[in-house]
Amino acid sequence: MKPDNTPIPTLRPTPDGAVEIIDQTALPHACRIIRLGCLEDAVQAIRAMQVRGAPLIGVTAAYGLALALAARDDDATLAAAAAALAATRPTAVNLGWALARMQRRLARLPAGARAAIAWQEAGAIADEDAAQCRRIGEHGLALLRPLAARHGRLAVMTHCNAGRLAAIAFGTALAPIYAAFDAGIETHVWVSETRPRNQGLLTAWELQEHGVPHTLIADNAAGALLARGQADAVLVGADRIAANGDAANKIGTYLKALAARAAGVPFYVAAPRSTIDFSCPTGGAIPIEERHGDELRVAQGVDATGQPGTLRTISPDEAVANPAFDITPGQLIDAIVTERGHCPATAAGLRALYPETGDV
């Protein structure tokens, strides 16, 4: 929190033409702000997951392009910067969406006149993201209210971090939860740890910041809690939603969807338009990021004195697989919540919300 008790922004352009971000690799143990002053800083921040979460990756990439053009405003720089940023992380389509939007906006302008417009457009993408997440909160609350009315309180399970830290404000899956809590509904959140990178700790950190009651669980506890009726709904974000409603999200999401369906608990996916890839026919066509095995082998944390450190829990020789995302088929998703409302997780449902996309 800042001294005036407002949250520190996840990303903030500075008056001298740089960008400040919260280094999410240091959370929840320390809230460290770092400065991105050039394209390479932005590329590194996305790749190292100092910024993460689909919407925030998109906004950071847009500013990365603007930083590149501020250093050198010509066609070759624009193309090379877009390629470098696009190569950082493959699954979250918000990255490619933001870069394509920036390039469309800049294409009409002569070299030498683009840097200022790029900065403005990146700001517009950020502002729109915050506005869309706010509306996702309102539409998601409409789905949660009847559950809260039935149970006299609201218990929601989430996975990974799809909150304000993953976006500019509010987040996607956490936006309806914040809306419910702010509307005075007694709310409790089950926060799944989300091995191996533990993004659930980021969720716990920001729920704590907002004052929302929550409990952290090991990923493996989720099925038992759902089977026992301890959650009224599961609400997650997405990194890419295919045209048929299949959704890619953090690894482990699919298991929660299966357990929720078996327990008769509604399973909702919340995401803005920038996460929907109408050119991707099904979840099977979504690229899944495979990350370094050391994310499994080496635990990150702090020691008894609060100093950051690492602990090897698995031998370096042990073969490990580390797919970062999985696909939840649309049949397991009860609704997709976007800034326009909610719809069934089907091609027809998505087309009805976004008729301007036409047949895909």
- Contacting positions for ligand MRU (CB under 6 A): 52-55, 92, 160, 162, 166-167, 171-172, 199, 237-239, 249-250, 324
Closest residue to ligand MRU, judged by C-beta, is 237
Active site residue 4: no
Nearer to ligand MRU, 146 or 287 (CB): 287
Residue 291 CB, shortest distance to ligand MRU, in Å, is 8
Residue 69 CB, shortest distance to ligand MRU, in Å, is 25
Torsion, CA 289, CA 50, CA 340, CA 264, rounded to 10: 60
How many Cα atoms are found within 13 Å in the side-chain-facing hemisphere of 228? 8
Nearer to ligand MRU, 77 or 88 (CB): 88
Amino acid identity of residue 7, one-letter, is P
Q: Which of 277, 273, 278, 249 is nearest to 131 (CA)?
A: 273
Q: Which of 232, 239, 277, 334 is catalytic?
A: 239
Contacts 24+ apart (CB under 8 A), 37-42: 37/67, 38/67, 38/68, 38/71, 39/64, 39/65, 39/67, 39/68, 39/71, 39/81, 39/84, 39/85, 41/67, 42/67, 42/85
Nearer to ligand MRU, 45 or 69 (CB): 45
**Helix 54-71 with 115-151: angle, nearest 10 deg:** 170
Residue 174 CB, shortest distance to ligand MRU, in Å, is 8
Amino acid identity of residue 335, one-letter, is A
Residue 320 CB, shortest distance to ligand MRU, in Å, is 17
Nearer to ligand MRU, 41 or 73 (CB): 41
Catalytically annotated residues:
239
